[in-house]
Structure formats: C-alpha cells, structure tokens
Structure 1
Amino acid sequence: RLKDVTCGAARTADFTQAQYPGVAPQLDAVGAGTDLVTLTIGGNDNGTFINAITACGTAGVLSGGKGSPCKDKHGTSFDDEIETSTYPALKAALRAVRAKAPDARVAALGYPWITPAAADPSCFVKLPLAAGDVPYLRAIQAHLNDAVRRAAEETGATYVDFSAASEGHDACQATGTRWIEPLLFGSNLVPVHPNALGERRMAEHTMSVLGLG
C-alpha cells in the first residue's frame, strides 16, 4: 500500500508544515506502522537547483557559452548554502521521519546527473551553460548529493547513490536516453526534472539497492 505525498518544489520544511494551503505536512503520511519511506529532498532548499541553473543559464547566454561567468560571479555561495543550511536541515528532516516511523526503513535518494562531466557544445541550445560552468554546476550537485549521503548515514537511513547509474543519462542526452529534461526544448512541462524514463530507472535502482523484488 503506497501513500505518495511528493510535491514539486518541496523543501525539507514541508515535512513539518503545509507546503500549500490545504496540503498537509508530508510527515502526516507516516506513522508507527510505516514499513518503508523513500524520499528525494534538499535540492529546493535555498533554491539551490533553480537558482544555480537560472543564474548559470543566464550567464551562459550572455557570454555566448564562453568561460565560466557563473562560477566567476557566484564562487562558493551555492556550496556554502548546502553546507551551512541544507545539510543540517536534511539531518533534521530525516530524524523527524525516524521519530514518526521508528520501525521503517528510510531511503534517501540522491539526485541523478543534470549535466555531463564536461561541456557539450551541441547541448548549448537545450542547456545554455558556459563551457566552464558545466563542471561547476556538476560539482555543486555532487556536493548536494554528498550532503544527502552524510545526513542519511548519520541518521540511520540508506543512501541511494545515482552517480554511477545516471552517468550518460543527463539532460544533454537524446530523448530515450536522458533521465532529466533540459532547460529548453524538452518534453516535460517542468524542465530540469526527471522524465518518465528517469523516474522508472530511479525506482528500479532504489528497489535494487534496498533488495526489493
């Protein structure tokens, strides 16, 4: 029996408070009888993903794809927010899940790759990032995933790592290969989110990690 309370743009704060009027806090969905909790959270805290993608996309367009204008302007600011704000919030959220569902297995999923490891000039029209900002954004995502991993390990949850499984399935890949839709000219109404293939592969990999048939 599945209860799905996922919601777009959710933050760790929405575990304990209503994300929208009339929408119950996500923690209301779990209780003492819950067996399994899976979640993907943290990327929307402090607007990390949307702020970084928007800032770097704008900078990439203005620079014509040259250099690393986003990194030059923002430096460690996104990483600093992950470490000082998102990471402790993740730990608090996972502890709150444990308190509500003490006997449940808890799986905290990392995020599949949004960008390739290096710039792909053919992808600029879909993901308008300057060449030097592609590895910059990927490093920010790696830092966020590491924060999720550490928070999971420190609260007794299982971390589901997608760094290997999602390699080669980033937003620059062709339809049918990519798990994440690009910023522009994608097939999803919501860009830079998993498509149906990505969601299916994420579910399969999570079940494999948890040993579920």
Structure 2
Amino acid sequence: MKTIVRAGIVAGVAAASMVWPVSAMSDPGGEQGIRYVALGDSRAAGPYLDAAAMVGGCARADAGYPNIVAGSLRAVAFVNVACTGARAEHVTSVPQHTPTGSVPPQIDSVMPDADLITLSIGGNDLGWSGLVSRCYTELPGEDAHCRTDPDTTPRMNAALDALGPKITATLTAIAQRAPRARVLLVGHGGIYDNRGCWPNIPTSDADAAFVTDFFSRMNRVLADSAATAGAEFVDVTVGARGHDACAPSEQRWYEGRQSLSLAKALHPTAAGMRHMAQRVVETVRRTAG
C-alpha cells in the first residue's frame, strides 16, 4: 500500500508539528505547489506509531516524518512509499516482500515532474543492529569492550565502505527518474549517545560513545554520497542531543531495545519524527530562500 495525497493549503496550523492524514487533504485544482515523493525504510515509515501503520505490510504511519513534511510544505501532491525493512535495491530495482505480499520498487511511484524527494535508506543495507550488538552486555555495569575488539571495527569499516557506492547509485537513479526534483537524503543516528542505560541501551558508556561515532561515520558516508550524486544531506542529529534512547520517556525522540511508546524498538518516536520533519523542512526552506 502506498499513500497518495493531493492537498490544498490549510492555514492556521503550526508547520513544525502538523500532520495531514489522507482524509484531511483536498484536490488542489489549479493551485501550483510542491509535488513530493517520500522513499525509504522504517525511519520514514514509522512502524506502529498509529493505526495507519497496521494496514499493509510496510507498517507506514501517518505520524511518520513524510506526512508531516507534506503538511508543513503544503504539498499539492504527495506519494509515500517508504517501507519497513527496505534496502537500497528495494528503492531502485527489486520488489520487496512484506508480511502481506510484494511491493514494487519504490522508484516506480516517483513522478517524473516531482519537485521534492526524500530518501531514508542504508540502515538495513549496513545491518547496523547486528554490528552494534557486539557492544551489548548481559548484565548492568559490564563492559563488552567492543571498541577495542579486533573484529568489530574492521566489520564496521567494511560495511561502511560497501554502503557508499550503493547509496550513490540509488540517488543517481532517482535523479534520472525525476530530473528537476530536489533530492534530500535524510541521515541516521539519534538512538545512541555517549552513555549506556542497561537494559535499554545495554552498553558501557565508553562503548556507547564508540557506537555514536559509528553513526557519525555512517552519516559522513551518506553526506559524501549525496554530494557525489548532486543530492542534499539532512543531518537529523542536529538538535537531538539529550533525546536519545537513554533520556527520560517524556524527552525521548528515539526508542532503545525496550520501547516505552508505540514506536518500534530502536526507531524514532512520534516526537522524533516531528524533529526529523523539522530538519527536512528547515533544509528545504533555508536553501530555497
């Protein structure tokens, strides 16, 4: 299932926190505005955040950042095909198998006349959770010392080295499909900070800092790929300090291994999605201005 929306301008709602479900939008008529397509994995889909995520196999929520961006920018056309579990090839060329069936490559839904395309991808390609799990401890107060493990860093390096070309190729394919569109690659990170909190983030503080650095390196790879392909990179870690998975639940933008909200474990909360949307909108408006 994909979300397709045409929207008129709705006034009087705060842009940074606005969510437009499909039923709230109307036909634009002759109005001109942004035609927006959202692509990617669960970081865009927002699994389990609301009832919409229970429909179809992609677990795509209305509370995901693409819907908020569409409302904030008053998009006159909006297509959201982000799908939980997606890898780069599911964006460009390979159908993705979901619990309810198969969905076509996401790029098939990109309008050639799109003005804006966002992409969240790379986490499943890296298999980051498996890499990071080497830093986890079984008991509080323990230290796995993954930061000095002779195998962990080489595995991370190899995964990051393989990621860059895949993301560059994906962004290039998107640009060829919609040559006039601004393409924004939305970064990763935010779950971890320089602290552990067993059992939610079951690492020592030193290993937590090591994991945080791994995501910083991942974002540098993504930023380089965006620059190479003529896209723009959105760093969602800006302004997110103190809202990691070890923060109090009311301040948390990302869940850890034990989710205390509707969000899937190790994914953004609804507040995190609003933050990510704000970063996208700020990027669009800043560079457009």
TM-score normalised by the chain length of structure 2: 0.66
Q: Deviations over 1:55-89 (max 9, x none)?
A: 322xx226852251465141231122111x11110
Q: 1:69-88 counterparts in 2 under 5 A?
A: 69=146, 71-72=148-149, 73-83=151-161, 85-88=162-165
Q: How many angstroms apart in 2 are the aligned matches of 1:190 and 1:160?
A: 22
Q: How many angstroms apart in 1 are the aligned matches of 2:182 and 2:84?
A: 23
Q: How many angstroms apart in 2 are the aligned matches of 1:32 and 1:159?
A: 21
- Residue 184 of structure 2 aligns to a residue whose secondary structure is strand
* 5+ residue gaps, structure 2: 1-76
Residue number in structure 1 paired with 2:210: 136
Q: Does 1:147 align with 2:221?
A: yes
Greater share of strand residues, 1 or 2? Answer: 2
Residue number in structure 1 paired with 2:260: 186
Residue pair 1:68, 1:131 contacting (<8 A) in 2 also? no
Q: How many angstroms apart in 2 are the aligned matches of 1:162 and 1:29?
A: 25
Cα-Cα RMSD? 2.0
Structure 1 residue ranges, 4+ long, deviating more than 4 angstroms after superposition: none
Q: How many angstroms apart in 1 are the aligned matches of 2:131 and 2:214?
A: 9
Q: Does 1:175 align with 2:249?
A: yes
Say if 1:185 and 1:30 are closer, same or farther in 2 by CA, change over 3 A: closer
- Residue 117 of structure 2 aligns to a residue whose secondary structure is strand
What amino acid is aligned across from residue 154 of structure 2 in structure 1?
T
Q: How many angstroms apart in 1 are the aligned matches of 2:189 and 2:146?
A: 24
What amino acid is aligned across from residue 96 of structure 1 in structure 2?
A
Residue number in structure 1 paired with 2:166: 89
How many residues are treated as equivalent by the alignment?
206
The alpha-carbon deviation at position 189 of structure 1 amounts to: 5.3
Residue number in structure 2 paired with 1:195: 269
The alpha-carbon deviation at position 165 of structure 1 amounts to: 1.9
Q: How many angstroms apart in 2 are the aligned matches of 1:191 and 1:44?
A: 15
What amino acid is aligned across from residue 126 of structure 1 in structure 2?
N
Which of 110, 114, 118 matches 1:34? 114
Q: Does 1:101 align with 2:178?
A: yes
The alpha-carbon deviation at position 201 of structure 1 amounts to: 1.2
Identify the structure with bigger relative contact order (alpha carbons < 8 Å, sequence gap 6+). Answer: 1
Bigger Rg over Cα: 2
The alpha-carbon deviation at position 39 of structure 1 amounts to: 1.2
Residue number in structure 1 paired with 2:46: none
What amino acid is aligned across from residue 13 of structure 1 in structure 2?
E
Say if 1:63 and 1:172 are closer, same or farther in 2 by CA, change over 3 A: closer
Q: Does 1:158 align with 2:232?
A: yes
Identity of aligned residues (%): 30
Greater share of helix residues, 1 or 2? Answer: 1
Say if 1:62 and 1:71 are closer, same or farther in 2 by CA, change over 3 A: farther
Q: How many angstroms apart in 1 are the aligned matches of 2:148 and 2:110?
A: 40
* 5+ residue gaps, structure 1: none
Q: How many angstroms apart in 2 are the aligned matches of 1:201 and 1:61?
A: 32
Say if 1:22 and 1:67 are closer, same or farther in 2 by CA, change over 3 A: closer
The alpha-carbon deviation at position 129 of structure 1 amounts to: 1.3
Q: How many angstroms apart in 1 are the aligned matches of 2:280 and 2:78?
A: 15
Say if 1:70 and 1:188 are closer, same or farther in 2 by CA, change over 3 A: farther
